[in-house]
Structure 1
Amino acid sequence: MPAHIPVERFMRVVMTAIQNNPDLLKVSRHSLFNSAMKAAQDGLLPDSREGAIVPYKDQAQWMPMIGGVRKKARNSGEIATWDVHAVHENDDFDFELGDNPFIRHKPTLGDPGKLIAVYSIATLKSGEISRDVMSVNAVEKIRTKSRGKNTPWNDPIFYDEMAKKTVARRHSKVLPMSSDLDDLMRRDDGLYDIEGASDKQVAGPRGLEQKLDALADMRDEETIDHEVDEKSRKSASGSSPADADQRGDQADTSRKASGDSAPQSSDADNSEITVDVALKAGASAREDGRSRKAVPAKYKTDEKLLEAYLAGFDGDVEDNGDVDESEPGGEE
């Protein structure tokens, strides 16, 4: 706690806050103590001007107010001045954005009328001036995300102060902030549904066919690798030892190259897949209970492979042109 705030005074302010809001007696004592500790760490008083301790469900929550935010900003050394004001319907108010932004506000001395906007003007140490304006409708969108029932939002006396804090909170995102001041601005995040349904970007549903394709690709990679290895072993067993050694050296070289280089294109991958492999993959897919439409992408790019895969799935090999793998004109 800062030296300028005596412990006795801080304790009196906390007791007054509890007396003014009896619902704080119903919350967890541990959370109430922690909220008071956070206020002390921030060097602010829970007097509803610099900050407030509010109940949320069965917990107490420390909520800095605009007076406390401005106080911390002045002491941070990052901002020279920071003014935040409320605009009412009977005030003379004008503002403009663009190359020459400005805000002009002349409050009325009579009945101010309803709140229509709030604005924030910060002057940095460099002399640069930064501005932000929020309409009351924009403020209301934030207020509706408040989770607590007994927060200052629901007290007409503090509504303007909470609205001013809202524009200050948004403005702070583009201002140079010390770590302490940034932490202060986030103290009451728990009281807001910051990621409410209205703000979430909901990704479009992925089609069932796409999901099945991805699953089929993952499973068929293992099947193809196994079948290719098995075919290589059978071929090696029926040839001379010298040929087998040569193929083994070529396989080792190929594996090393594949481990050190980037993945090859899908066309290159398809060139290594034979019609026989596609046939077996289709038959395996049927046995596993997969959908006929979930054809792996590697078989879709080649018409012969696609026909072979579907023929294998349907168990109709002869109707697929006998799936002859020989080169044209290469009959023996």
Structure 2
Amino acid sequence: MADLKDRVKAATASEEQRPEQPPVTDIAARDGHLKWLQSHQSYFTDALPRHVDKAHFTAVALSLLPNLRKCSNQSIMTALLACARFGLEPDGRQAAIIPYGDTATFQPMYQGYIELMYRHPAVDTVHFGWIREKDQWDYEPTAPSPRDFRHKPRVDLTDEERGPVILAYAFAWIGGHRSQVIILNRQQAVEIRDKYSKAYAKAVREGKTDSPWQTSFDAMWAKSCVRRLVKVVPTSSELTQLINADDDADDAGSATPPVIRGTVITRDDQEPGEQPTQAPTWPTTAQPGSGGEGGEQA
């Protein structure tokens, strides 16, 4: 009897040590997503700029599909094609694809704007940063550049010890000269949100908290700052188109979504798969601010 108990105990222990296997339905769903994506792959590969790795873009797109299972094929295609057109990966850093009900929506992030700025041959570098309460900084607009702005983070302190974020800033070096420094405090970001965001206004009217300004205030604060920098750096038709697409994304959260300008989708085949849906959320910023509540138009 003791021997039997020992064998049962050993079998149970070995069973517990086995790695958990993914459900068969998850594997089938992923295969369905991959098949759907591969059948439409020519749309993305034709639109992607040469410098973007097509296989990596496809892999990132595949990872998004489970979260978009309630969205229509056409909206998914439109959002992915918008990412491809601008050469931005939908990885939550350069761009994101957010489900608004049954609509997948392309949302550029501040890193996406910076990526497009770098593509102009006159732009040397672009910098975005957060200033925290205990950082050393000074801004004197009348002083000659680059002595008009200085920021020295407290590297001897943690972010928490440095205090809450009080300012976002961005600037670029263009042909050896520094651009105007764009500085945006929290109250200014709130004013941009209240004045320009249709998606935020709609969420407030309906008593919801799912607009980007509510779920990821810092991401929108950062993007609003970088969008203002667009006005003082060498511009391009691509940057102008990105701003238009960004405005369209905000419209998509407030009304019947328009097609991203310049995209044409002609196919709407089988659904990419079935997975649990999620409420619209935004990724956190790469350099996190203070969080909390949720430009010009973003």
TM range (shorter): 0.5 to 0.7
1: CA distance between counterparts of 2:224 and 2:61? 24
* Residue 140 of structure 2 corresponds to residue 96 of structure 1: yes
Corresponding position of 1:170: 228
| Percent of aligned pairs with the same amino acid | 30
The DSSP-based 3-state class of the residue aligned with 2:245 is coil
- Higher Cα Rg, which structure: 1
Structure-to-structure mapping, 1:142-181, within 5 angstroms:
142-144=192-194, 145=197, 147=199, 150=210, 152-156=212-216, 159-181=217-239
Q: 1:150 to 1:27 in 2, by over 3 A?
A: farther
- Structure 1 residues 15 and 30 mapped into 2: Cα distance closer, same or farther (>3 Å)? same
C-alpha offsets along residues 228-285 of structure 1, whole Å, 9 cap, x if unaligned?
xxxxxxxxxxxxxxxxxxxxxxxxxxxxxxxxxxxxxxxxxxxxxxxxxxxxxxxxxx
Q: How many Å apart are 1:138 and its aligned residue?
A: 0.8
2:63 to 6, 12, 16: 16
Give the number of aligned pairs.
Answer: 189
Cα distance between partner residues in 2 of 1:18 and 1:6? 19
Q: In 2, are the aligned partners of 1:146 and 1:191 still within 8 Å (CA)? A: no
Question: Which structure shows the higher helix fraction?
Answer: 1
C-alpha spacing 1:129/1:141, structure 2 compared with 1 (3 Å): same
1:99 CA displacement: 4.5
State the Cα deviation string for residues 301-324 of structure 1 (Å, max 9, x = none).
xxxxxxxxxxxxxxxxxxxxxxxx
- CA apart distance, 1:38: 0.7
Give, in whole Å, the separation in 2 of the partners of 1:119 and 1:81.
Answer: 14
Could you say what secondary structure the match of 2:235 adopts? coil
TM-score by length of 2: 0.57
The Cα offsets for residues 63-122 of structure 1, whole Å up to 9 and x where unpaired, read as: 111222212211122322111111222322221212436221122332233221111111
Answer yes or no: is the 8 Å Cα contact 2:125–2:172 preserved in 1.
Answer: yes
Unaligned stretches of 5+ residues in structure 2 = 1-47, 201-208, 255-298
Match for residue 173 of structure 2 among 123, 126, 129: 123
Tell me what 1:189 maps to.
247
2:169–2:225: 8 Å Cα contact kept in structure 1? Answer: yes
Aligned AA for 1:190? Answer: D
**Secondary structure, in 3 states, of the residue corresponding to 1:130?**
coil
Judged with a 3 Å threshold, the aligned counterparts in structure 2 of structure 1 residues 17 and 103 are, in CA distance, closer, same or farther, namely farther
Q: Structure 2: which amino acid aligns with 1:177? A: T
Whole-angstrom CA distance in 2 between matches of 1:116 and 1:43: 32
Could you tell me how far apart the structure 1 residues matched to 2:193 and 2:78 are?
A: 25
Shift of 1:150: 4.3
* Alignment counterpart, residue 26 of structure 1, candidates 70, 81, 92: 70
CA RMSD of aligned residues (A): 2.5
User: How far did residue 129 of structure 1 move?
Assistant: 2.5
Change (3 A) 1:26 1:90: farther
> TM-score of the superposition, structure 1-length normalised?
0.51
- Secondary structure at 1:186 match in 2: helix
Partner of 1:3 in structure 2? Answer: 50
Distance 2:150 2:93 in 1: 26
